[in-house]
């Protein structure tokens, strides 16, 4: 292994160890010593790659943001020429998959969940642009579905209703509530979460929302 590869390997070990500890223990309770022991690295390596604990955490958030942009492909949802129903499904699926991807390490999902619940100032600034763009996409889709005569309040409420369904599944399959829901024998949590399951959830939310919005178009 070359020196460059060794440095990269050390950097990745530190990031993974820090992510796992930040997710389970929280930022304040995690020390550089804890991270170094878990990563089998020394303090000098942390200082070299990240400067300090805050720099290390910020780098994890940057990596999370890059991953979100890579996995949340909104090209279909943000293509006005395509049918709005197809765009809505793409939007719903992408948001569900981003949060519930069964192949993503659990610590990444927990860390993402924690940042959504209590975002750090660094993460808040970084995610603001992404969330604003997503809101614009959903609003444009809803407007196309409801038609040119739709009023502002109806568009906003329908947007909230679509996202509310997505958010529900975020929580019941999320790293915190999922175990509780299983103990309560909530039927939705009995089936293992797979990509196919996510696709079916996205289809249900889309069809349910389209049927509801069709009633507005009939008025």
| Lookup: tokens for 203 | 């289809």
Total domains, the chain: 2
Eight-class DSSP state of 79: -
Q: How confident is the model at residue 5 (pLDDT cuts 50, 70, 90)?
A: very low
Which of 13, 30, 61 is where one domain is finished?
A: 61
Residue 83's SS3 state is: coil
> Domain check: are 148 and 178 in the same one?
yes
* Statement: the pTM of the whole predicted model exceeds 0.95: no
Q: Report how far apart, in Å, the C-alpha atoms of 96 and of each of 19, 30, 92, 111 are.
A: 22, 30, 6, 16
Q: Report how far apart, in Å, the C-alpha atoms of 54 and of each of 20, 34, 41, 117, 165 are.
A: 15, 14, 17, 19, 35
Report the distance separating Cα 145 and Cα 207, nearest Å: 12
> Domain check: are 55 and 77 in the same one?
no
Least confident of 39-48, 92-101, 174-183, 188-197: 174-183
Q: What is the CATH number of the domain that holds 91?
A: 1.10.357
> Domain check: are 7 and 104 in the same one?
no
Residue 66, in any domain of the structure: no
Q: What is the CATH number of the domain that holds 36?
A: 1.10.10.60
Eight-class DSSP state of 135: H
CA angle 197, 208, 217 (to 5 degrees): 155
Q: For the segment 113-169, what is each residue's pLDDT rounded down to a tens digit?
A: 788 777 777 777 777 777 788 888 999 999 999 987 889 999 999 999 999 999 888
CB 39 within 8 A of CB 17: yes
> Domain check: are 15 and 97 in the same one?
no
Residue 188's SS3 state is: helix
> Domain check: are 119 and 54 in the same one?
no
Report the distance separating Cα 187 and Cα 184, nearest Å: 9
> Domain check: are 137 and 87 in the same one?
yes
Least confident of 45-54, 114-123, 154-163, 194-203: 114-123
> Domain check: are 114 and 152 in the same one?
yes
* Residue numbers of the domain that contains 15: 3-61
């Amino acid at each position: 292994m070359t020196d460059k590869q060794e440095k990269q390997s050390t950097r990745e070990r530190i990031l993974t160890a820090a992510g796992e500890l930040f997710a389970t223990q929280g930022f304040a309770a995690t020390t550089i010593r804890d991270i170094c022991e878990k990563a089998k690295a020394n303090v000098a390596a942390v200082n070299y790659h990240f400067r300090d604990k805050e720099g290390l955490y910020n780098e994890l958030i940057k990596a999370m943001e890059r991953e979100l942009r890579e996995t949340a492909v909104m090209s279909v949802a943000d293509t006005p020429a395509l049918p709005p129903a197809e765009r809505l499904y793409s939007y719903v699926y992408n948001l569900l998959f981003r949060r519930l991807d069964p192949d993503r390490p659990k610590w990444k999902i927990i860390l993402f969940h924690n940042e959504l619940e209590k975002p750090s100032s660094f993460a808040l600034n970084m995610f603001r642009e992404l969330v604003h763009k997503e809101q614009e996409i959903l609003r444009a889709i809803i407007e196309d579905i409801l038609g040119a005569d739709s009023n502002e309040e109806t568009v906003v409420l329908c947007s909230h209703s679509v996202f509310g369904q997505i958010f529900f599944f975020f929580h019941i399959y999320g790293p915190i509530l999922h175990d509780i829901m299983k103990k309560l024998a909530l039927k939705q949590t009995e089936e293992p979460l797979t990509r196919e399951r996510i696709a079916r959830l996205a289809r249900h939310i889309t069809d349910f929302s389209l049927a509801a919005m069709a009633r507005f178009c009939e008025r």
